[in-house]
Amino acid sequence: QTGTVAANPEQYDQAYICPVTIGSQTLHLDFDTGSSDLWVFSNLMPSSEVDGQTEFNTNSAGATKKDGYTWSISYGDGSGASGVVYADTVNVGGATATSQAVEAATSVSSEFTSDTGSDGLLGLAFSSINQVKPTPQTTFFDTVKSSLEAELFTADLQSNGPGSYTFGYIDSSKYTGSITYTAVDNSQGFWGFTAGGYTVGGGGSNSTGTIGSAIADTGTSLMYLPTAAVQSYYSQVSGSSYSSSQGGYIFPCSASLPSLTVSIGGHGFVVPGSNFNYSPTGSGNTCFGGLQENTGIGFTIFGDVFLRAVYAIFDETQGSPRIGFAAQ
Ligand SMILES: CC1CCN(C(=N)N)CC1
Ligand SMILES: CC1CCN(C(=N)N)CC1
């Protein structure tokens, strides 16, 4: 089997939300290659924590409670959720898991309550970091992968318009040139890979540094690189500065933004300058940069700002996992 589903950007491309059918309900979930739990708003939550989201009905005929199973998850930005566990049929664009662990929330943090476009998350990192106790559950991809035409999924994220995720096949209309594959280190549960050198702007203002280990993360909006690369980038953006009040680099919204070329698997991938204007700060006609320092996160993250510039293939067809990137 295969699946194809639209990836709809929230405001400022902050996250990508996809329709998922669970039993007879359709919920809109944030697909996240940086976590491994499929959790949903549910009828078990206090109404004070729900602001229009669709609630998974744990009383529906097809939902089977997994007695004694609970979950609790917290994300890098301090948000979090917790609850209990059911098994139900989950269909993502035609790819169907007949008995998938669906983590029904009994409580969510305010960040999720106010994220009115999202009814929960669908984790696509490795099942080794699933947060269900007493027994971790498999991700949707792990549950269905043996039944897919090919054991892979792909991400084509777009700005301000629908992109797509596919399960089980590569859509050759989504990229140009060839796919460059590189090995994945999943020892921490993420789609980890090694990135090489970088160049700011097309003018050959070559860098001397290399980026090193990184993760490909659809659930992170921005791109977080080592300080040296970030300082090198913003040194080419006139009027840019680090704003402690905004919590990152900002610049005049009218600034001309250079591209950033990153070498992965020996191929240079170009992120256009426009990708690095993330959103207005709301003050002084300054804008918040889509490239920020990785200090404090503990990971170099190739988030949506990078992933919008490529077609990404999350591939387990070779036995050990690999990730592929192609220009688009
Ligand atoms: C390493 C962190 C990256 C951001 N996260 C995520 N997309 N769920 C949390 C883990
Ligand atoms: C990876 C997750 C981080 C937390 N999120 C949020 N605050 N809306 C959702 C995505």
12 Cβ closer than 6 Å to some ligand 2 atom: no
pLDDT at 205: 57
pLDDT at 172: 98
Please give the distance, rounded to the nearest whole angstrom, from the Cα atom of residue 162 to the centre of ligand 2.
Answer: 19
DSSP string, 119-187: SEEEE-S-GGG--EESS----HHHHHGGGSSSSEEEEE--SSS-EEEEESS--GGG--S-PEEEE-B-T
Q: Quick: pLDDT tens for 72-126.
A: 999 988 999 999 999 999 999 999 999 999 999 999 999 999 999 999 999 999 9
Mean pLDDT score of the chain, rounded to an integer? 97
Please give the distance, rounded to the nearest whole angstrom, from the Cα atom of residue 317 to the centre of ligand 1.
Answer: 24
Active-site hit among 13, 30, 32, 37: 32
Neighbours of 236 (CB within 10 A): 17
Average pLDDT over residues 144-172: 98
Cα-based distances in Å from 72 to 47, 60, 112, 181: 19, 23, 14, 34
Q: Quick: pLDDT tens for 192-236.
A: 999 999 999 987 656 668 999 999 999 999 999 999 999 999 999
Q: Is the ipTM of this complex over 0.90?
A: yes
Q: Quick: pLDDT tens for 21-48.
A: 999 999 999 999 999 999 999 999 999 9
Neighbours of 230 (CB within 10 A): 22
- The candidate with the shortest Cα–Cα distance to 322, out of 270, 265, 262, 269, is 265
pLDDT at 91: 99
